[in-house]
Structure 1
Amino acid sequence: MRNFLSVDELIAMQTQGAPVRVIDVRWRLDRPDGYEDYRAGHLPGAVYVPLDTELSTHGRADEGRHPLPSTATLQAAARRWGIHAGDLVVAYDDAKGISAARAWWLLRQAGVEVRVLDGGLRAWTAAGHELSTDDVVPETGDVVLDEIGAGALSIDDAAAFPASGVLLDVRAAERYRGEIEPLDPQAGHIPGARSLPTLRHLDAEGKVLDVETLRTTLAEAGVTAGTPVAAYCGSGVTAAHTALVLAEAGVDAKVFPGSWSQWSNTPGRPVATGSEPG
């Protein structure tokens, strides 16, 4: 099953009257609240989704920056977005699909048919389509979600994963090596993890590369057919994008949602540095 949707495909579906719900998941580390950006211009009919409150929850530092929401919280949010049983959800952002992928990862676990708009807002405007500035408030949906969480690793699962599969650290390579750490208390990576920054899977326009190129890049990191794979990042958002890319390449992957923010805030967890897994 495809996991990305082009602008032309989205427009064709909407023109044909298909049950499509578009969600705007504008979020960045430097601007976690994307509501004002949404109001400045969004795809017509798109509902704004706050990642920090509807696609994650918050607790102690040793739980990470973006723990999973409960299924009940996600279901209430999905109904607020106007999602009904049988709808196709299309998520987009203005950050190369990174935050939209978080919605994809959660909704996919919940049994919702979901895609990510390839190239996001940039692709929409580059194709000459107009933006809207209204605040879309749809009628409440009735979707019933499956229980989420089966696609997630605990911190102990992540620690043990390299012994039986490939654990990918998808942050920037310098953070993996421990040369810099702008957000968390320790620099480095989980011992045994391999570095594969998620941006390697995208072109200059933020669109996903072709499947054969993806598979070649993944194979270089040790990901081949039948290999168990999991991904982590800083706080469990970017890792969902790698899971999205892996799914596009035909590989099912798990995500460690606590990621480095949980690992580095948990006393006693070992830390590796340098370019090798350790």
Structure 2
Amino acid sequence: MVLAEPSLQFYLEPEEPIEISELTGALAAIARQYQTYAVENELATKNSEARLLVSVVKPGSIDINLVPDLVSTVAMAGPLLAPLIDKVELIEKFGKHLKSLIDLFAKKREATAADNISIKDCDDATNIVKPIASHGGSQTFNVINGPVTVQLLTVTAQEASSIIETAALEKTLLQNPKAEVLQRVPMVWKRLDRDSVKSEAKTTPDRALIEEIDEKPHAVFFTDEMSHLKMQMIGDEENPYQAIYFVDVVVSRSSGKVVSYRVIGYYGKEELEPLPPA
């Protein structure tokens, strides 16, 4: 019996069907990270030479095995050194590279220069965990070598949401180090559209009051990456106007005045005490 070649298994168990674009977005992000890893470790001289291939797609949950295309690596090493390339070690090290990326955003903290985080890293981490953040369940990375399976990383839906929120905050600060970001501020809805987020819309019907920032309600936006947060906030709420939501927001101003809020993090809610009868 011929054993399958070593591979990196990307195994997803969502609680509901996921969109094809979310799955392909996750795979594309993994492929981009492999390009970075391969070039940095001299397995390829340029990104186009570093390719990940899908070797197996299994039925049931979403079960995809990925293997590196070593054509360029073998050509660089030469025929004498090619047999010395350890595929299992390569796959395991790349898997640990992915784990390190996810771990960077696994806890809400202040990034340091030593982290060397890029905007691409923020986007890739977001795309890798987005299917589970949006649709529940969990996802796992395993190294498969014949009958041996070594688990590298498991991410739950709650962890995925936290990773996306942290990545969004880091991306905002990378794009604009002077961005006005406030964390864990209490927000009360004043007007709300229960429909799904239209991430490309330039206007929004949603309005909320954050008294710590301004005494008037303002427009509230969610980016595509944060669209799942809105459903987390109001999905189980019959009357969302009777709750206080604790959020991270990026404040947009014009001539010093608040124009809108962009929600990039959510910590939970508390019900408001009912008003006494008049």
Q: Do the structures match in fold with TM over 0.5?
A: no
State the TM-score bracket (shorter-chain normalisation): under 0.3
Q: Higher Cα Rg: structure 1 or 2?
A: 2
TM-score w.r.t. the length of structure 1 is 0.26
Structure scoring higher RCO (CA < 8 A, sep ≥ 6) equals 1
Which structure: greater strand fraction?
2
